[in-house]
Amino acid sequence: MRHRQVVALAAVALVGLTACEGPDPNNLETYYDDPAPTSAPVATTEVPVSPAKAAPVTPPAPDAGLLAEQALLSDADVAEEGVQPGSSELAGCLADGPSAASRTATWRYSSGSELSHRVLAFPDGSAAQAVADNECDGKTVSVPAQPGVERQQAWCDGKTCTVMLAKGRLVSELTVSASTGTRAVDAAKRLLPAMTAKLAAQP
């Protein structure tokens, strides 16, 4: 009988030890262990956003009439010729092209000779071609070549001489009527640098 009681007590003690191997509800270090994460954190990717590019702004084309006016000789440009503003206009030998805008200024020498400057602006940039296609009356004459121009031509018809310079959209046409053709050509040569400078200053 005593032997059975000892075996039973031993069994109870073994069960008690086994039961104590689990987590102790009073042990805060084991009872409140963080649970294992169930899933990995979701990674986020930032996509760089390129700033919107503004469309290039194309500046408006200069007004044809304004271009012609800016390239026109002024009273100051011809002051050394000793001329005064005139009211009549010498007829140039270049006819206005389609839709061409033009500006004209005229002056008179004390001798009665006349000086006229006309600038024509062509909308399609065909100024050089307009001069190339033009034929003035009389004969061609030689005048100093001007830098920065696309085409240059000169004619004399008796006592009246005409010089044309072309650049971009503009034709600068100077006509001089003097007592002789030689005097007319000489006056045109003196004014060529001023004509060229005004023409070259335009876009």
pLDDT tens-digit series, residues 17-44: 444 455 555 554 554 455 555 555 555 5
Tokens 């930032």 belong to residue = 46
pLDDT of res. 134: 87
Nearest to 161 by CA among 181, 131, 137, 132: 181
Tell which wins on pLDDT, 56 or 80. Answer: 80
3-class SS at 131?
Answer: helix
Place of tokens 């100093």: 144
123 confidence band (pLDDT: 50, 70, 90): confident
Give the model confidence (pLDDT) of 82-119 as tens digits: 999 998 766 677 766 656 789 999 999 999 999 999 99
pTM of the predicted model over 0.75: no
**DSSP 3-state assignment of 161?**
strand
